[in-house]
Structure 1
Amino acid sequence: MLKIFVFLIGFFYFIYEIESHGYLIDPPARSSAYREDSLRFPVYYTDTEMNCGGKSVQWDQNNGNCGICGENWSLPKRYELGGDRYRGYRVRNYPMNGKIPISVNIWTNHRGWYEFRLCKVDDQPSGEADHACLDKILLADESGRTRFNTPTQVEGWRGFFNTTLVTPENFVCDHCVLQWKWNVGNSYGIDFETGENCLGCGPQEQFYGCSDIRIYDEIIVTKPASTTKPAIDPNAGTVWSQCGGVGFSGSKSCQTGLDCVYFDDYYSQCQPASPKSSTRAQSTTRISASTRSDSTTTKTIQTRSPTTTTATKTKYQSANSNLGAVWSQCGGINWQGPFECQVGLDCVYQNEWYSQCKPSSQDRTTTTARTTTSSQRANQNQGAIWAQCGGINWNGPFDCQSGLQCFKFNDWYSQCIPFSRKFMKFFNTILTINEGIY
């Protein structure tokens, strides 16, 4: 009877997956970022359905309008600034004039095409992106293409769409929003130009994803060499120790020969200074766009010249071009770049199409629990799907991997099961049937 019960659970979960659609996996959308770090980002198991409330809601009720992240236009925007699910953390950092790896996970293909847009939130008085801002920058790949067809026109196909976009020339931002738009093509409609009734013409269902990113550029602030000996902080951080981050109360300076390198809002680390920067004739302060503020620098002394910009590398630029920088890709199907990361980084597997250079867990022992990523937690002792996770005399793990919930059947047995609103609706029905049988 238990085998039948488990089979029914799997069967209904399969049905749930068939109803799903797709989501932006890299850079992770606000509604999907929990898949990488469910401690910093709220879990939302229906992130594959950011479709503006559905075709009829978007076009018949809201006149084609939709939230920038794919939410129903007429309802509160939970993933926009002011919403209860908004966090604003930058999930990726990219270099100026660099490339942006893109990966979309398609659970159920509906044909159509994709576009990707960019908004510089730094310039937005509201502090949030909007469609007017996003429409200013339509991102392209190296060939100049801005619209991408789905990998196949087979309805229901499941897989990944991967491409690489380029950042706008000489463009930097401390906070940008990258938007993915999927205009599906599985409904018949009227072509506005020809008047023809055809598949994929006219208003279609649309899916969106919005990711918070940073595009950085090093700024060199040059000062005359000091003739006085600087004061030494007795509590200055040692190599690889933490030197900053939200909630951090220790010293924010590092010992001589070390730089305090910014990773994210919750973690900065003391790392060996670049040999080139330590031998310069003039003393320099190295900051990235992510840490720049008018209160810490003087505009009149900021300089950017070909000789100084290339002489010193930021943390996010690799002194060795064969090693991946922080947050850069380091593996995946068809990947032709480096498979190893810089010192202090680990190449973390995301899926068969994408691995990424992330701060090493060995170097972040002092980081708060909030910075633990889901990929690191998955390597710990957590239950896999359908595994036991509790019960009288149970000595195994009581936590489940990301995307699963430990569900109590009785005092003797709890199990890791997929958890979503749709799945639980079916699951509760099966539980009722099961209780009747027993």
Structure 2
Amino acid sequence: MKNLFFLYLTVYFYLAFLRSATGHGRLWEPPARSTLFRRGYSTTPNYNDNQLFCGGYAVQWMLSGGKCGICGDPYNQKQPRDHEAGGKYASGIITRHYTEGQQIDVDVEITANHKGWFEFRICPNNDVKKAATQTCFDKYLLKFANNATRYHISSAVGVHHVKLYLPPGLTCTQCILQWRYHTGNSWGVDPSGRGCLGCGPQEEFYGCSDIAVEGKSKINLSTTKATTKPTTTTKATTTTSTTTTTTPSTTSSTITTTASTSTTVETTTNPTTTTTTKPSATTTQKTTTPTTTTTQKPKQTTKSTPRFSSTTGSSNGSGNRLVSNGGSAKKKCGPTDVWKKTPGMRQWCVTNCRMGYCPASHCVCV
């Protein structure tokens, strides 16, 4: 009987290890702390940045009582944890600048799908050298475009694109955006005692990105000042200056600006104010007969990676979708040098590149 008990215990831990070793996912946009090196930043590389799973199922749920470091490190890891303030992957780099209450685009790359759902939280930390707490994150659970707080993913792998709303009135010089992926591919028991897939404790992944959130008044002030220069005038002219492109038309004119300031949705909320603040300072060139003008809404200046939409994604009516990088169905594909020694990666590249998902960070086709 004693030997049978130890055999059962060994098998249990082995299965728990297998369950924790197969999952892959990372916060791609805005880039997580350990993923910065893949986005062109000179930071310490973490080639296991898609496995920030709290040390694995057994460590999180058996040794730590379900607790996890705020960015995916094992809860029992010696502090400072690797991905928290003072850790080797916490560089303090502010990756993106947003505006309070803004709807932002977020990308999560899932390379091994385990079903389940995403949640996002934010913590106004305001000190890159100070460690944040989960209590701070729990105060600000973010909502998706459909007003839900959870995004249930489809069974496809690839980059999941979601839209989030930042809290109105929340500003910070350094906020931490936290991504939580609660998988749903393991059998468990719900609170009522019913056994089901995805019930009970599940493997979890986390990621943290350092961002800044500015107030609307600050953004509007800088935009108004910019309108006194030719580069941001919204009046139709009969000539083209070196910094302003105009398209004469009897019905509309499209204005393209080259202002280097961070552009947000608020830049077009008050077109009347920006065109009449100081008429004498906008331009000295002659104008045509006043016509009805429309201005294009400037696109957000945050980076994005090339991708295309896939009909296999899950939207849940929220405007969120699955997108993937392009691949080749005819070329011979295999893993990059970083992934060559990972078991199963060659077949993974062959299968996924043939289906159109062929990330350059994982696979190469010749």
User: TM class by shorter-chain length?
Assistant: 0.5 to 0.7
State the 1:44 CA deviation. 1.1
- Partner residue, 1:181: 180
Q: Does 1:113 align with 2:32?
A: no
Q: Is the 8 A contact 1:68 1:208 kept in 2?
A: yes
Q: 1:419 aligns with which of 330, 333, 338?
A: 338
How far residue 42 of structure 1 moved from its aligned partner, in angstroms, is: 1.5
The answer to whether the aligner puts 1:57 opposite 2:59 as a matched pair is: yes
- AA matched with 1:167: L
The code of the aligned residue for 1:120 comes to: P
Structure 1 residues 159 and 127: CA distance shift in structure 2, 3 A: same
Question: In the alignment, which residue of structure 2 is the partner of 1:198?
Answer: 196
CA distances 1:206-242 after superposition (whole Å, capped 9, x unpaired): 0001111111125569xxxxxxxxxxxxxxxxxxxxx
Q: Distance in 2 between matches of 1:138 and 1:74?
A: 25
Q: Name the structure 2 match of 1:43.
A: 45
1:130 aligns to what? 133
**Alpha-carbon distance between aligned partners in 1 of 2:40 and 2:150, rounded to the nearest angstrom:** 30
Q: For the residues of structure 2 that align with 1:113 and 1:326, how far apart are their CA atoms?
A: 28
Per-residue CA deviation, residues 301-322 of structure 1 (Å, 9 max, x unaligned), is xxxxx989x6499xxxxx9644
Amino acid at match of 1:276: T
Q: Distance in 1 between matches of 2:37 and 2:305?
A: 21
CA deviation after TM superposition for structure 1 residue 81, in Å: 0.5
Cα deviation for residue 332 of structure 1 reads 4.4
Structure 1 stretches (4+) deviating beyond 4 angstroms?
A: 218-221, 310-313, 328-332, 351-354
Matches within 5 A, 1:15-414: 19-39=22-42, 41-76=43-78, 77-122=81-126, 127-152=130-155, 157-192=156-191, 194-217=192-215, 219=217, 274-276=226-228, 311=274, 321-327=296-302, 332-333=307-308
Q: What is the SS of the residue equivalent to 2:62?
A: helix
Aligned length: 254
Amino acid at match of 1:110: H
Give the drift of 1:169: 1.4
Q: Is the 8 A contact 1:51 1:207 kept in 2?
A: yes
Q: Any idea what SS the aligned residue of 1:32 has?
A: helix
Question: SS of the residue aligned with 1:134?
Answer: helix
Moved more, 179-188 or 125-134: 125-134
Gaps of at least 5 residues in structure 2 are: 1-20, 233-260, 263-268, 278-293, 311-321, 326-332, 347-366
1:163-201 CA distance string (max 9 Å, x none): 101111132211101111011111111212x11121111
Change (3 A) 1:333 1:420: closer
Higher strand share: 1
* Consecutive unaligned residues in structure 1, runs of 5 or more: 1-17, 222-258, 262-272, 280-287, 290-305, 314-318, 336-350, 355-384, 387-403, 405-416, 428-438
> Which residue does the alignment assign to 1:240?
none
Paired letter, 2:199: C
> Which amino acid in the other structure matches residue 182 of structure 2?
N
Question: CA separation of 1:127/1:143 partners in 2, compared to 1, >3 Å: closer, same or farther?
Answer: same
| Residue of structure 2 in register with 1:360 after alignment | none
- Normalization by structure 2: what TM-score? 0.59
